[in-house]
Amino acid sequence: MDTGIISYSLNSIRYYLTSSQKYKAIWMFGLVLVSSFLDVFGLAALVPVMMVAAEPGGVQKSKYFSLLYNSLNFQSERSFLLFLMVGILLFFLFKNVFTTWVNYLQTRFTADIGLKIIDSQLSKYLDLSFWKFNDTGSSALMNAALQVPGVYVSGVLRPLFIFFSEVAVIVVIVISIIVYKPLLLAILAVVLVPTTWLMYRALRTRTQNIGHRINELRPVAFSVLNDLFVGYVELKLANKQQEFKRKLLANQGELQKLDAEGYLYSLLPIKMIEMVAILGVLTIFLYALFFSNASTDLIALVGLFAAAAYRLMPSVNRLLQSLFQIKQAQYTIEIISGDRNADFYSPVDPIQVPFTFEKSLSFDHITYSFPGAAKQTLKDISLTIKKGEKIGFIGSSGSGKTTLMNVLLRFYVEQSGNILVDGKPLTPQNLVAWYKVIGYVKQDTFLMETSIQDNITLGDATVDQERLSYAIEQASLTSFIAGLPEGVHTMIGERGSKLSGGQRQRIGIARALYKRTEVLVLDEATSALDNETEREVNEAINKLSHTDMTILIIAHRITTLRDCDQIYELSEGEVVAVHQYENLVRQIVQL
Ligand SMILES: Nc1ncnc2c1ncn2[C@@H]1O[C@H](COP(=O)(O)OP(=O)(O)OP(=O)(O)O)[C@@H](O)[C@H]1O
């Protein structure tokens, strides 16, 4: 009917199936067919048995039943009927056990594919280049990684099975009608095919649009909900919670409406088909009534038409419903097979070479501009840092400090120039080795809702206790942790809600130390830290100054840079000055 959407769906699955799974899919489809036939056969067998049972002496009148009766040597009609009833009961029992088993296998199979798609989606998104990752946003990614594969399984895979099994059932019915009465098929085709086709044409675009709109609305819901709960404090203080709640409710209201509309469309086909079938019956009747030469054959034909249409209708209905379901979930196919543009990804190169950092680290004529940006964010930056040095970076907001560090961390890749480690450029082939060397403590340290220990070790199953104690000590966390009832096993709350700002940053520092970071990038918090927090963080940085760690600090307060060997000042993506701490302080005092 619409080979487009069906072949599109099949192609999307093929990508995820191993060759053994492809065979399994065919085998599964065979089983689904058998269960559909059992369903049809069960109902078809019931009617003649009931008719024979209802009529005394009916067994002998029927050619097939009398044959069976005689060949099995039955002595009374009553025991034969009992035999038939038991047979039917056993058949239905078998049929239902069998179809349940097939349903189970089918759901297991589709769930396996669903899991594979989630896996592949996650791998895809974990390889996203950082700018594309930021561009897409976490709400959309969360939706595309979990929700979309779920909808794909229920909205594409399962309906595909239904579609094919109904096609097979319809084909069998049609063949039987051709054998039995070809004229009937012609009438059925004239009545049912255009209706079904028009019905599908009328609703398919609408249904597809509903799917797309639902897909637009879902990430927005995640995002607003996230704002509502993460921004609990700020939104409450600003008296904005109700406004955000209204936004979420408006979003959910539209979603519910679309859901209802989609549901309504799925109910329409059967009603329309029924109307047309009735119209067909009435037309033949009217023809018989008004053209008196119409034979009794015609009346019989009406009966047959009604019976055949009655059996075909549910199948055609399920077929249409499955197509609509796939149309509504078509966006999931677009998402899981889309975004394969190589520019969006920076996967880790499978060939990795070992690498050491012994002497120096250089930014060598680094230039970077964000995709689509008119201006360069970093303009020809060159500077060299010796191993073990502590280097500060200052400059007004937006001058490019974080971007420069992101190039060093390889989240952004320079358009020209190189990052040189001991004179050798960083390439995709030494990225894994580089990530072992470098650590990053962000302004808003990433914290998990777990214990202090798990936050420092990032959930290491076997913890190196000595390294952990060293990291805690160097990050000035010893006395704080000692004062906690459960020590390092104390839970820190969601995103570290039970910790102070300084404690959070120091956990980040401890994490870098536990990892045996050799080059640490420290982005000092811009948010107004109170004096105590500032003292705590400075104390930790101070301690680090006496290690052989190379430290690059983006500072917003001059005092943080007391132990720095050099301080680079950036302005509009360029290094405009290099300072020593004392000179800098003197300059500021003079100002
Ligand atoms: N993902 C991005 N896409 C486009 N432009 C960006 C992106 N991230 C940052 N920029 C722009 O690049 C410039 C440098 O930003 P950057 O974050 O490096 O500044 P910064 O010196 O670290 O500022 P701050 O001290 O406020 O953190 C800014 O003009 C910023 O708007």
CA-to-CA distance for 536 and 557, rounded, in angstroms?
14
**The ligand 1 atom nearest the CA atom of 406:** 18
Domain boundaries, the chain: 3-339, 360-590
Whole-number pLDDT of residue 530? 62
Whole-number pLDDT of residue 541? 79
Whole-number pLDDT of residue 296? 64
Bigger pLDDT: 9 vs 344: 9
pLDDT band at 320 (very low <50, low <70, confident <90, very high): confident
Q: Which helix (H) or strand (E) is 245 found in, with range?
A: helix 241-290
Same fold, 3-339 and 360-590: no
Bigger pLDDT: 303 vs 413: 413
Instruction: Report the separation in Å between the CA atom of 419 and the middle of ligand 1, taken as the mean of its atom positions.
Output: 20
**The ligand 1 atom nearest the CA atom of 570:** 21
- Judge whether 558 and 588 are in contact, CB under 8 Å: yes
The set of protein residues with a Cβ atom below 6 angstroms from ligand 1 is: 131, 134, 370, 373, 377, 395, 397-403
- For a mutational test of ligand 1's pocket, the pick from 129, 394, 403, i.e. the residue with the most ligand atoms closer than 8 A to its C-beta, is 403
Protein residue with least CA distance to atom 19, ligand 1: 398
Protein residue with least CA distance to atom 1, ligand 1: 131
214 pLDDT above the threshold of 60: yes
Instruction: Report the separation in Å between the CA atom of 370 and the middle of ligand 1, taken as the mean of its atom positions.
Output: 9
- For a mutational test of ligand 1's pocket, the pick from 128, 370, 407, i.e. the residue with the most ligand atoms closer than 8 A to its C-beta, is 370
**Global ipTM:** 0.96
Tell me the range of 23-27, 107-111, 327-331, 383-387 where mean pLDDT is highest: 383-387
Q: Round the CA-based radius of gyration of the chain to a whole number and report it.
A: 36
Q: Which of 158-167, 264-273, 276-285 has the lowest mean pLDDT?
A: 276-285
3-state SS class at 127: coil
**The ligand 1 atom nearest the CA atom of 398:** 19
3-state SS class at 451: strand
Structure tokens at 547: 């290690």
Instruction: Report the separation in Å between the CA atom of 423 and the middle of ligand 1, taken as the mean of its atom positions.
Output: 28
1 pLDDT above the threshold of 60: no
Q: What is the pLDDT of residues 509-547, one digit of tens each?
A: 999 999 989 999 998 765 545 666 677 777 777 777 778
Structure tokens at 305: 């038409």
Q: Give the relative orientation of helices 77-126 and 63-71 as an angle to the nearest 10 degrees.
A: 100
pLDDT band at 434 (very low <50, low <70, confident <90, very high): very high
**Domain 360-590: assigned CATH number:** 3.40.50.300
Whole-number pLDDT of residue 590? 66
Q: What is the pLDDT of residues 82-129, one digit of tens each?
A: 888 898 899 999 999 999 999 899 889 989 999 999 998 898 889 888
Q: What is the pLDDT of residues 58-86, one digit of tens each?
A: 777 777 788 888 888 888 888 888 888 89
Protein residue with least CA distance to atom 28, ligand 1: 398
CA-to-CA distance for 83 and 92, rounded, in angstroms?
14
Q: Which of 19-23, 301-305, 502-506, 512-516 has the lowest mean pLDDT?
A: 301-305
Instruction: Report the separation in Å between the CA atom of 377 and the middle of ligand 1, taken as the mean of its atom positions.
Output: 8
CATH topology of domain 3-339: ABC transporter transmembrane region fold (1.20.1560)
Instruction: Report the separation in Å between the CA atom of 122 and the middle of ligand 1, taken as the mean of its atom positions.
Output: 27
